[in-house]
Amino acid sequence: VAPRMVTITALTPNVANGTYYDSIIVSAINATNTPQKVIVQYNKIPGTQVPQMILVKSGFSIPRQEDKGPVLISTQVVNRWAGCMPWTASENIPWLSLIKNSGEVGESVVGLVDITGLTMGTYKDSFYVQAPSASNTPQKIVVELRIWRFHGDCNWDGVIDIEDITWMVDYMFNRGPVPLPEYAVGDLNCDGKVDISDLTYFVDFLWTFGPIPCGNPY
């Protein structure tokens, strides 16, 4: 409803440097001179400084239970200075594939981490993003997987025993460390929380032959 300003935001699509034109049509149903056309000119020019590449996130630490399916990771590629900076990414990691491996400033590297067949343990590798015009190319992205097997294995040693109950009691009542390698390990009944009900479930499993923790392979 008039009077009101219309704000136009220029995007930075992956187009060559140059001048581009388009138009916006503004209509007012009760005006005598509707519609009106607004011409928009978009100038894309080279940056005035040598590009410097920044990765919004250069490292990933991913905890995951065995055989729980793939995980997406992404990080935006930024030029510290204004201007274009085409980039490409390449990897040689058995459990990682790049879904988006090239782009321009503001776009993201996207990868798919597939843990199928990986057993409990830590897996660490890296890959690189290159921008030929940047002064600090390439940049490294480190990916670390921390694979666990059992809900209830709070100390991440591959077995569920009295040491894990001690760990959980310490976490719940003495502000001890969270279950390793992630909070979900302590969720024995799969209700999304780690609380006294999980501790009761734990005791029942270990000493009265109760059901195995929810979500465990055996």
Q: Check pLDDT > 80 for residue 11.
A: no
Q: Check pLDDT > 70 for residue 13.
A: no
pLDDT for res 40:
93
* pLDDT (mean) for 127-146: 97
The model's pTM is 0.76
Q: What is the pLDDT of residues 87-119, one digit of tens each?
A: 999 999 999 999 999 999 989 999 999 999 999
Percent of the chain with pLDDT over 70: 99
Q: Check pLDDT > 90 for residue 9.
A: no
Listing DSSP states for the chain in one string gives: --S----------S--SEEEEEEEEE--TT-TT--EEEEEEEEE---SS---EEES--EEEEEEETT---EEEEEEEEESSSS---EEEE---TTEEEEE-EE-TT-EEEEEE--TTPPSEEEEEEEEEE-TT-TT--EEEEEEEEEE--TT-TT-SS--SHHHHHHHHHHHHH--PPSSS-GGGG-TT-SS--SHHHHHHHHHHHHS--PPPTT---
Q: Check pLDDT > 80 for residue 14.
A: no
Q: Check pLDDT > 90 for residue 178.
A: yes
Q: Check pLDDT > 90 for residue 83.
A: no
Q: What is the pLDDT of residues 24-81, one digit of tens each?
A: 999 999 999 999 999 999 888 777 789 999 999 999 999 999 989 999 999 999 999 8
Q: Check pLDDT > 80 for residue 12.
A: no
pLDDT for res 10:
78
